[in-house]
Amino acid sequence: MRHGVFVKLLAAFLLVIVIAMVTVDIVIQRTWEDSLRREIERGLVGKAQLFAHTVETNKTLPLQQLVNDAAAAAEARATVIDSSGRVLADSSADSATMENHATRPEFISALAGRTGSSTRLSRTVGIPFLYVAVPTRGGAVRFAYSLSSIQHDLSSVRRSLLLASTVALVFASLLAALLARRVSQRLSRLAAFAQKITSGDLNARIADLSTDELAAVTAALDQTARKLQLTFDSLQNSRDEMETLLNSIQEAVIAVSSDGKVLWANDLMRTLAPAAAKTGSPVIESVRDPSFLAALNGALHRNEVCRTRISSLALGRVFELTAAPMATAGAVMVLRDVTESERVEKTRRDFIANVSHELRTPLTSIQGYAETLIESVPANADPTHRDFLEIILKNATRMTRLTSDLLVLARVESGEERYNFVPVRADELLAEAVHSSRHQAEMAGMELGCDNTTSVLVLADRDAIHRVFANLIANAIKYGLGGKRVVVGAREAAQQVEFFVRDFGPGISSQHHSRLFERFYRVDKARSRDAGGTGLGLAIVKHIVQAHAGQVRVESELGHGATFFFSLPLANCQPAPSGDVESLPAAGRVSID
């Protein structure tokens, strides 16, 4: 590269020098030749005018002698012609044998009364001449000056110019070589500096004491390298801080490129899965968990935040996985170990299920004995005896419902509850719900009807959805007595059908909406207990709907009733839900039943 630049610069300099010298030589030669010819022409014109005057005034000497004397004095060939162009006398040839000269350019001008001149080969003697003619009375005279002497002088000038140009070319070439070598060396230093920067040596520096444009480029590159070094140091510090932070957290973190290769993993991830956390290796070769790969695919190709649970990454351990797309490309995956919380949650569910199961028998006995005692109370007995027995029966009945709901909720949360998903018409589900709850509404003095419906097919378990409707309609009857009416319905949405149960009671304040589906949560605790609710109905609704791959929500304002919505997927565009229900922490479950 260095020799290439040097050769190219030197060749360019030499080409410019040679072109300049050739141009100067040509211009000087032509200028000198033109100047010499003009000078000779001016002298000949003066001599020709004097010759013409002599021919007109000297009548004593023969014309041929006058011609010869004029030719000798002017050192040129002299010629005299009459007005017809016939040669009267010539200093170098016999006039009798010469052709008519009326067509000669210089004589044409002279015969017209003007001084004429031209340059050409003489037909008579065969050498180049400069011809100058002036008019006389009755004709014209002409001097012809041989240009052979000019050619000799011109050759001498050419030789002198060639010698001077050769000497100048040698010195100019030496100077061009020095300049080209200097520029080449500076460019080579720039190339070496750029190569160091490219290879990662941001500490490289270059100095140039010159003040030309190339020095300005050098200074700009050096300043760029300094800024790159500062930026790189800042990025490295940020990376180290981020790496320390990620290594200190209790979750495993792994970053994956857009082509599925590992970019980075923290220490916990490398401990859990050394093969999967190897930088540069494809994740799919080390992790074969379908949920893990599905979440990664969703983050990489659909640009979605995906959450799931995996249990095959480490034996006996369960992880909550969150896969999120990165701003540039690729995805970052965070795995939180929930093994212990799963164990605690399972223990809690088992405890609740066992306690509820054990309480059912004594509660049933209490309820039965209480009913028997109420029936056996004499008519004339103290009324307080019957009141006490009714209170016992009421609370035993409530406790029985509570244990039953706890058992149902435990089965739903743990995944023990299995569903038979089949295509069902939405209007059939609504008709069954209205039919089964109509008597309960009539007993409460309320009207139960269907407002909106659709006949599309949804994927659902009939019995489970019947439980959902039963809970929602029972709540609407209990807490919407002021409205005297409950309405159910369904409407098609994107890839799903949204069902609703609406009452026209006092409504629910917005501050309670976010917690309505929590376990044991009540908007009005005293009223809920009086109505006989267990506080678990809406929690059961939520988990059943989630098991159907649906969502549940509420819309309500004080004084305008409440509407509970839940969605079910369409049968022709959704795969059957798995029926597995993700368990949630005990705190924060919702219900106002």
Q: What are 555's strand-pairing partners?
A: 563
Least confident of 293-302, 305-314, 396-405: 396-405
Residue 531 has pLDDT above 70, yes or no: no
Nearest 5 degrees, angle CA 221-CA 224-CA 225? Answer: 90
In this prediction, residue 489 has a pLDDT band, given cuts at 50, 70 and 90, of very high
Whole-angstrom distance, CA of residue 473 vs CA of residue 429: 13
Whole-angstrom distance, CA of residue 457 vs CA of residue 473: 22
pLDDT at 575: 47
Whole-angstrom distance, CA of residue 141 vs CA of residue 89: 10
3-state secondary structure 410-437: HHHHHCCCCCCCEEEEHHHHHHHHHHHH
Q: What residues contact 531, with CB distance under 8 A and at least 6 apart? A: 478, 479
Residue showing tokens 């819309």: 555
In this prediction, residue 464 has a pLDDT band, given cuts at 50, 70 and 90, of confident
Residue 317 in tokens: 């351990």
pLDDT digits (tens, 9 = 90+) for 186-233: 777 777 777 777 777 767 777 666 666 677 777 777 777 778 878 877
pLDDT digits (tens, 9 = 90+) for 345-394: 777 667 666 766 677 778 778 878 778 877 777 777 777 877 887 788 77
pLDDT at 3: 55
Residue 39 has pLDDT above 50, yes or no: yes
pLDDT digits (tens, 9 = 90+) for 236-248: 777 777 777 767 7
pLDDT at 2: 47
Residue 499 has pLDDT above 90, yes or no: yes
pLDDT at 526: 47
pLDDT at 6: 67
The mean pLDDT of the chain is: 78
Percent of the chain with pLDDT over 70: 82
Q: Which helix (H) or strand (E) holds 391?
A: helix 383-414
Q: What residues contact 381, with CB distance under 8 A and at least 6 apart? A: none
In this prediction, residue 556 has a pLDDT band, given cuts at 50, 70 and 90, of confident
Residue 153 has pLDDT above 60, yes or no: yes
Nearest 5 degrees, angle CA 494-CA 466-CA 409? Answer: 100
Whether the CA torsion 205, 208, 211, 215 is positive or negative: it is negative
pTM of full prediction above 0.95: no
Mean pLDDT of 11-15: 74
Least confident of 304-308, 347-351, 510-514: 347-351
Would strands 485-493 and 447-452 be described as parallel, antiparallel, or unpaired?
parallel
Whether the CA torsion 9, 11, 14, 15 is positive or negative: it is negative
* Residue 285 or residue 295, greater confidence: 295
